[in-house]
Structure 1
Amino acid sequence: MDFVVAKEFITFFECYRFDSILEKFNLLIHFCYTNIQKSKLCEVKRELFEQKYLNIKENLIKNKFYNFHLNHIFENLEQDISQLEKILILPLGRCHGDLTLSNVLFLENKIVLIDFLDSFIETPLQDIVKLRQDTKHKWSLNLYKNSYDKTKINIILDILDKKVEQYFKTFDFYKSYYTFFQKINLFRIMPYVKNKKIMSYLIKEILKLKNEEEQ
């Protein structure tokens, strides 16, 4: 295994000019786009998501931070699933599986992706969702232990998130299913949560997506 001297994203974002940050971030967008182009549009049964939801719900109820607020999440997701078509048309093909910024190493002239992960559905949409888990929902900031310029990093992430949204909103599958996939993605994290603060954060972010849909 090669040893790579690199920076994690917060350090890189703090130390480098925005044009350099944007150049590296464009590589992530290109990675997702290339995988979309190489994927095939396939039929995916709604039952796949129903079963995944039920499995997560069963595990989540066992979590010690389970609380009544989760009932709102259950109701929301069950409504979403019931409103899905019986057959979804999605691009299936290669994807990273866990493309958060914390799984990207930043070097002077390139990026390195680490910690590839199998997903219950192999679609490049999942990578876009995981990327926006950080740019929109700021997930990795919750896990960062060192001090950093919060205002600067949040501004950068907001700009990058608008770029992701602008780039992929032209795809029909993205317009139709992004929000649902993001809710399921955040929901999938919940059974592994080990503190009340993170659980509350995930509940808030899922409900925020619901409110955005209703606006």
Structure 2
Amino acid sequence: TVSVLYWLRPWIYASTMAVELQAGYSGCPIKLRKADPEDPAEEGVAYVVEKTSANLEYNKRLESQTSKLESYGKAMAGHSHIRCPRVLFRRHDEQGRLVIGMSFEPHTNCMEYLSTSLVGEVQAFTNVLINFMKSSVSASPLAPWSGEVFSSKLARFKQDAEANTVLGDRLPATLQMFDALIAFAKSRKEHQLPIGECHGDLTLSNMLVQSDKSGGRRIVLIDFQDSYVESPLADMAKLCQDLVYGWTMRFLPDDVNVDAARVYLIMSHMKREMEAAFADQQWYREYFQMFFAINQLRVLRYSQTADDREYLYESAAIEFNKWVSQPGNSAFGTTVPEQ
């Protein structure tokens, strides 16, 4: 993801050369370079991150993701402890691909920060994150989401899973889980969910920790993505991919050293804090577990190795079994093997 680029070490920052990386499943090229002093759009920044659309067909998605980044930037303008990079320009290259220029944000890797921070700092980080999600919920009133639309999106995820040959003998149980979730989605004409705007990829890898002028800390959110549903529930489920299953920990660069046991304890604490913050909401009690299971299944379909498959399948099965075991949900399916 783009976050890999943000983890580059300081010796790269001082380089006069541009650094190019290939980022994420989208395949969008990413480049970090020094700002051009002759370009008014880059005034006031030292380094620029350029993200280029993978192809012409991806232009629309990249534009949508950039608009979301700008929207969140405006919404966060009044918050002292959370922000996001500034969009500097939109341009097109000679092939017609969209190129987005963003401010580079000096930072500490989130996992390194959590590994070395004091108890009070951990709680402050957690509070900022919970307050961000509360703000997202406040900006996302309950609204009807069509059961037909919901089920059709799940059906497309199921088709993607069927096309992944890496799933092998895990495919039948994977399809069984999708069938149960689709049946539930179809069982209601409408689902009352908080609908608004969400980050789209709210993992710890997309959170940078930055020092402010007063010596305090703030979170910088990066790599906004489109989502199959614009709801805070999708962000909560995505975050728990990290807090419960350590997705970001699994893919840390080799040169990032963290106290893994400490970080996992901190992530468990953050999960409990999130549950406590929203447990009184009917939509959370009714839908969060389902969204968590859907999130793990969506990631499972991207498995590229047998190791990925087993790691992701187990997490999907565990969360699905929790959902299908909730009162009333057994009518739509049965538990699946977790091992």
Q: What is the CA-CA distance between 1:3 and the residue it aligns to?
A: 2.5
The separation in 1 between residues aligned to 2:132 and 2:312, in whole angstroms, is 27
Q: What is the CA-CA distance between 1:86 and the residue it aligns to?
A: 2.7
The separation in 1 between residues aligned to 2:286 and 2:171, in whole angstroms, is 25
Q: Deviations over 1:26-84 (max 9, x none)?
A: 11111111111121211111222221222122222222312222311221232233234
The separation in 2 between residues aligned to 1:22 and 1:208, in whole angstroms, is 28
- Kept in 2, the 8 Å contact 1:12–1:106? The answer is yes
Q: Which residue of 2 aligns with 1:124?
A: 232
Q: What is the CA-CA distance between 1:98 and the residue it aligns to?
A: 0.8
Q: Which residue of 1 aligns with 2:300?
A: 190
Q: Which residue of 2 aligns with 1:211?
A: 321
Letter in 1 for 2:279: K
Of all paired residues, the percent bearing the same amino acid is 28
1:27 to 121, 124, 128: 128
Q: Where is the strand percentage greater, Structure 1 or Structure 2?
A: 2
1:44 to 142, 145, 165: 145
The separation in 2 between residues aligned to 1:131 and 1:18, in whole angstroms, is 21
- Kept in 2, the 8 Å contact 1:24–1:106? The answer is no
Pair member with larger Rg: 2
Within-5 A mapping of 1:12-161: 12-84=113-185, 85-108=188-211, 109-146=217-254, 147-161=257-271
Ranges in structure 2 where 5+ consecutive residues have no aligned partner: 1-101, 212-216, 327-339
The separation in 2 between residues aligned to 1:198 and 1:64, in whole angstroms, is 13
The separation in 2 between residues aligned to 1:26 and 1:130, in whole angstroms, is 18
Q: What is the CA-CA distance between 1:190 and the residue it aligns to?
A: 2.5
- Kept in 2, the 8 Å contact 1:91–1:125? The answer is yes
Question: Number of paired residues?
Answer: 215
**So what's the TM-score if we normalise by structure 2?**
0.60
Letter in 2 for 1:202: L
Q: Where is the helix percentage greater, Structure 1 or Structure 2?
A: 1
Ranges in structure 1 where 5+ consecutive residues have no aligned partner: none
- Kept in 1, the 8 Å contact 2:161–2:171? The answer is no
**In angstroms, what is the RMSD of aligned CA positions?**
1.7
